[in-house]
Structure 1
Amino acid sequence: MEQDGREADPILIVMHIPKTAGSTMRTFILDQYEPGQVYRSYREYGYGKQDRFTVQTRCIIGHEPFGTHHLKLTKPYTYVTMLRDPVERVLSEFYYLKRWPRHDLYISAELEKRNWDLDYYLGSTDERFLNRTFNTQTRYAAGQRSPESPDLEQAKANLSRYFSVVGITDMFDDSLSMMKRQFGWSDAPYRKRNVAPDQPEMERPSEEQIARIAAMNELDIQLYEWGKANILSRLQERL
């Protein structure tokens, strides 16, 4: 991938798309830096409400779309992220909201009123819901905060130009290995974080619900397949 706006030892911006194994990746990345070198931008949890980078900042990580932070930097930078099968990502976030309501108190409260109806979750036109159910990965990569008309081509262009590594969740070890090679990171143990347990049979989505999620996330599916083809090509080049 073409790289732009970067030179040796740039600030690393980790675009953590929710429910793409970003929490697991974060634990590994944090071990590569001193505590004062990492800026966390998780506004829903009270981190990063004000963008106060310091001269010590070497890594920025959080639930923020592309462009949120690099426009405020005066130093070279590069990005990494992970993409996930869109159907799996949407379902994973739904069940995570049920297990961990503080992830989004507003959505969790609305869903609790309706006995955690997956059809309601998928059918809501509330922008807070759409930000989680409708082409979320494309929107993040395109740098869009609104779920309206996600721009797939802009997403691909940003990932190609500004990201050193675009990993794939179901190729996590290969993706992490590529990041270690790219940045000269040391080996460090990691454990999977925020992994949902298997769902009881009664809670598993129907084929109709799965098809509905796929239709709602057609752009994310295209982006995911594009990202997977890219990482497979890069791995092949290393053989």
Structure 2
Amino acid sequence: MSLFFMHIPKTAGTSFRKGAETYFSPERIVYDYGPNAKATSPFVKESLHVDQPDFWQFRQALDNPAMIVGHVPIVRFVSLWGVGNTITFLREPLQRIASEYEHFVRNMDYKGSFKEFYSDPAMRNRQRRAFSRVNLEAIGFIGLTERYSESLEMLNDRFATRILEREDNQGKTRLEDEYEFDEEDLVELRKLNRRDIELYQYASALFDSRYEMFKSNQPWAHACLVEATTESVSGWAWWAGERDAPLEIELWVNGELTSTVRAVEFRQELCRLLPPRGGYVGFYLPLKLSPLDKVQCRVAATGQWFPPSPRLIEETET
């Protein structure tokens, strides 16, 4: 098994990467931090940072790498490694921005003010943009910087690894230390990074659900309620890991079980992510619902709810 680690800057990714180097050895890790970065592997530079890169040939030429890692968006490698083998970490957005600013000042001779830094469009919603419209629910593993120990615990269990905890490249003494903001900066940061804040809140809810299942020795399902309207409910679901059996999904409306369906329909839009079962992981239920009905799905075998909170029905446009 080979992993793709999407290293979002200032999310404890360097600590994780160095832990992975200790476990796998640096020789088994491929690095892509850009054409001018010293850390980028020579083979990556000569294969991918060229006018017409052949990603398929690049993947075929690699000799059983344990992991590919870099400051890259998920779309760069997810279709070669598969979404189930993709991992990343997220961090509370405002803390991440402050940490990145400190990193720029300390290591890149940045002379601008903090406000100039976070006002730059390139620095806004950095975490959300890295996912390129890939649903969080599909990704093999998403850890949280603020819950790093628990993240490693689950990740090591999921991928049968023993990557140890460490703290590297930290601007502050400890991961749990927090930056403080002036009220003016706080208001502006929240406005400029609304999408990152929403992403982190949802990722935290998913993390809580997954950790609860993990501690209960229950298997985790990658599951998403894609659409819920007055006329139908649809989504997709599959087991994490190597389990290939289809999932049975319960539909709950206003707190009551109304129907069940198997997740066996083809979802073409997922194929670029290399989901299991050849993409036959979808479900669709035609039914009559009313606006403001609350809908939630549950994995019948384990009781895992998705989404983490009920969703209000959207009125179908005519």
Counterpart of 1:197?
172
Mapped to 1, the partners of 2:83 and 2:104 lie a distance apart of 36
Mapped to 1, the partners of 2:186 and 2:67 lie a distance apart of 36
SS in 2 for 1:45: coil
Counterpart of 1:178?
154
Q: CA deviation at 1:57?
A: 1.7
- In the alignment, is residue 160 of structure 1 matched against residue 137 of structure 2? yes
Mapped to 2, the partners of 1:236 and 1:88 lie a distance apart of 26
Matching residue's letter, 1:117: S
Counterpart of 1:117?
113
Counterpart of 1:45?
37
Mapped to 2, the partners of 1:88 and 1:208 lie a distance apart of 16
Which one has a larger percent strand, Structure 1 or Structure 2?
2
Deviation readout 1:90-146 (Å, 9 max, x if unpaired): 111001110111xxxxxx4xx42xxx311222334xxxxx22x2100000012xxxx
SS in 2 for 1:13: strand
Provide the identity percentage. 25
CA contact (8 A) 1:135 1:219 kept: yes
Counterpart of 1:147?
none
Comparing both chains, which one has the higher relative contact order based on Cα–Cα distances under 8 Å and sequence gaps of 6 or more?
A: 1
Q: CA deviation at 1:76?
A: 8.8
Superposed, which structure 2 residues align to 1:49-128 within 5 Å? 49=45, 50-51=47-48, 52-53=58-59, 54-71=62-79, 73=80, 78-101=85-108, 108=109, 111-112=110-111, 116-124=112-120
Deviation readout 1:170-189 (Å, 9 max, x if unpaired): 0000011111000111253x
Deviation readout 1:7-31 (Å, 9 max, x if unpaired): xx3x200000000110011111222
Matching residue's letter, 2:28: Q
Superposed, which structure 2 residues align to 1:5-20 within 5 Å? 9=1, 11-20=2-11
CA contact (8 A) 2:20 2:163 kept: no
Mapped to 2, the partners of 1:194 and 1:235 lie a distance apart of 27
Counterpart of 1:136?
126
Mapped to 1, the partners of 2:76 and 2:160 lie a distance apart of 26
CA contact (8 A) 2:3 2:81 kept: no
CA contact (8 A) 1:79 1:165 kept: yes
CA contact (8 A) 1:122 1:213 kept: yes
CA contact (8 A) 2:31 2:68 kept: yes
Q: Unmatched 5+ residue regions in structure 2? A: 49-57, 174-178, 217-318
Mapped to 2, the partners of 1:123 and 1:75 lie a distance apart of 34
Q: CA deviation at 1:204?
A: 5.8
CA contact (8 A) 2:152 2:163 kept: no
Change in Cα spacing, 1:76 to 1:194, as seen in structure 2 (3 Å) is closer
Change in Cα spacing, 1:75 to 1:66, as seen in structure 2 (3 Å) is closer
CA contact (8 A) 2:83 2:140 kept: no
CA contact (8 A) 1:83 1:169 kept: yes
Q: Whose radius of gyration is greater, 1 or 2? A: 2
Count of residues in correspondence between the two structures: 193
Q: Unmatched 5+ residue regions in structure 1? A: 1-8, 102-107, 125-129, 143-153
Deviation readout 1:26-52 (Å, 9 max, x if unpaired): 111222324332101111524143344
Change in Cα spacing, 1:96 to 1:215, as seen in structure 2 (3 Å) is same
CA contact (8 A) 2:4 2:81 kept: no
CA contact (8 A) 2:23 2:163 kept: no
Q: CA deviation at 1:213?
A: 1.1
CA contact (8 A) 1:13 1:77 kept: no
